[in-house]
Chains A and B, each alone.
Chain A
Amino acid sequence: AQSVTQLDSHVSVSEGTPVLLRCNYSSSYSPSLFWYVQHPNKGLQLLLKYTSAATLVKGINGFEAEFKKSETSFHLTKPSAHMSDAAEYFCVVTYNNAGNMLTFGGGTRLMVKP
């Protein structure tokens, strides 16, 4: 069965410092991987996705993630945090190329201090 582990339930950074949110997935066939963000009282918004093209994926709002097959990882990074980045982040995997069932990680709450 597919699974995703987000290694930190909470991450706290200061505004202007780098962000690293860690994600590991179980390895069975070729995955499609996503990062979604959820701001309070909002739906889940796609930040970026990996679908077996370039291993370094750039997303919205300055976020990027690198797919590392040898480490089964898909960590999310941003060079400089902004207050508006404070939200819940979900790493998500699907192994079905038709894009059906998504499997979510447990989520990481990012807090940004002024």
Chain B
Amino acid sequence: EPEVTQTPSHQVTQMGQEVILRCVPISNHLYFYWYRQILGQKVEFLVSFYNNEISEKSEIFDDQFSVERPDGSNFTLKIRSTKLEDSAMYFCASRAFVGQPPGNEQFFGPGTRLTVL
């Protein structure tokens, strides 16, 4: 069964460093997402991406964050200068485009745990 994969599973970095989190969405999917979950808090939406551009983003997704689909398979989240409060589990998700039915399922990866020291 196709699945979303994420690498690395755990990333440790120093404050101020740049990190890139990688995701491989399901191959025929066209919508891509990043969410994060700070320890003990809710899963929060960061950004959605379609047709090579951001379609929606939250207030969390400020200028320190960027997303890219550098090739036909990867979807990346870059944090330019990490802060302590960026420590969280980051989930990638993808969704197939099947017209406009409500409630299209998003398929999630296992997450990358980012620890900023």
Contacts and interface: CB of A to CB of B under 8 A. Distances in A.
Interface of A: 30, 32-34, 36, 41-46, 49-52, 90, 94, 97-107
Interface of B: 3-4, 9, 31, 33, 35, 41-45, 48, 55-56, 58, 91, 93, 95, 100-111
Contact of B95 (A30, A52, A99, A107): A99
Contacts, number: 69
A76 B32 CA distance: 27
Contacts of B41: 106
A103 B108 contact: no
Given A43-B111, A106-B42, A100 B56 contact: yes
Which of B33, B48, B95 has the most A CB atoms < 10 Å from its CB? B48
Which of B43, B55, B111 has the most A CB atoms < 10 Å from its CB? B43
